[in-house]
Amino acid sequence: MKLSVIIPVYNEVHTILKIIHQVREVPLDKEILVVDDGSTDGTRDLLRESGEGIKLFCHQTNQGKGAAIRTAIPHVTGDLVVIQDADLEYDPSEYSKLIGPIVNGKADVVYGSRFLGGPHRVLLSWHSIGNKIVSTLSNMLTNLNLTDMETGYKVFLAEVLKRIKIESNRFGFEPEITAKISQMGCRIYEIPISYWGRDYTEGKKISWKDGIAALYWILKYNLFRRRPRKSNTYTSKTSL
């Protein structure tokens, strides 16, 4: 199976080439799609100069993670899609573990959870608490039991992701995609992953405002949208 790696990037001049190198080192058949989301720190120039072997797409202005993923999806040619953040918080060497349940026919979507016992940097307690709050609310409305709805490591069968209309431009992507794959009846697995979180001095971008916004997106995509009748798998032809 071929893996398509989507890397949304915004102002990550110090990490982008390192993460691309790490992705290239993974011994899987893959393609790398990088979407520069209006960077102003030299990231885009660096990608143009050194980005051989990648598909590069550029936004003229910063639009957000969801918009970057939406730009990349029509160009995906792989059987599986993984979302890879452009910082160094998530380890590409774990791809084989993440895609395992899909390759083995047990899942349609896999979430890499930071809260299932994998090694992680001890940092930012309030982010952990906020994550648990939004994950719990999302679970109550989707009837899932995810430990980490907001994880940046999500892997999809490409045909699943291509059938979803992504509407959120920014970090609303995470609750939106979770609501929609639940409504499609996708088989979802969680896998423990390692996590090396950054603090704000190291360039972390998500803030408490995004946590408040996540509550809005959870309610919007779970309560205020027409729900298709859920099947045992996503194989119904409904697109969301």
pLDDT in tens, 109-129: 999 998 887 665 555 565 678
The Cα–Cα gap between 173 and 109 comes to 15
Evaluate whether 217 touches 135 at the Cβ level (below 8 Å): no
At residue 216, the pLDDT reads: 87
Model pTM score? 0.87
At residue 236, the pLDDT reads: 46
Under the banding of pLDDT at 50, 70 and 90, the label for residue 234 is low
| Residue 8 confidence (pLDDT) above 60 | yes
Under the banding of pLDDT at 50, 70 and 90, the label for residue 52 is confident
Domain residue extents for the chain: 3-223
Those residues whose C-beta lies under 8 Å from the C-beta of residue 159, and which sit 6 or more positions away, are none
At residue 162, the pLDDT reads: 97
Those residues whose C-beta lies under 8 Å from the C-beta of residue 125, and which sit 6 or more positions away, are none
**For 55-68, what is the mean pLDDT?**
96
CATH of segment(s) 3-223: 3.90.550.10
Size of the chain in residues: 240
Between 38 and 201, residue with greater pLDDT: 38
The Cα–Cα gap between 92 and 42 comes to 24
Over residues 135-147, the pLDDT tens digits come to: 999 999 999 999 9
At residue 85, the pLDDT reads: 94
| Residue 182 confidence (pLDDT) above 70 | yes
| Residue 15 confidence (pLDDT) above 90 | yes
At residue 124, the pLDDT reads: 57
**For 85-95, what is the mean pLDDT?**
94
Residue 84, classed as helix, strand or coil, is: coil
At residue 129, the pLDDT reads: 80
Between 240 and 226, residue with greater pLDDT: 240
CA atoms within 13 A on the CB side of 84: 32
At residue 215, the pLDDT reads: 86
Evaluate whether 152 touches 195 at the Cβ level (below 8 Å): no
Residue type, 11: N
At residue 210, the pLDDT reads: 65
| Residue 46 confidence (pLDDT) above 60 | yes
Sheet holding 154-157, edge to edge: 55-59, 30-37, 3-9, 80-83, 154-157, 109-113, 188-192
pLDDT, averaged across the chain: 88
**For 191-199, what is the mean pLDDT?**
79
Percent of the chain with pLDDT over 70: 83
**For 29-34, what is the mean pLDDT?**
98
| Residue 200 confidence (pLDDT) above 50 | no
* φ, ψ dihedrals at 191, nearest 5°: -125, 135
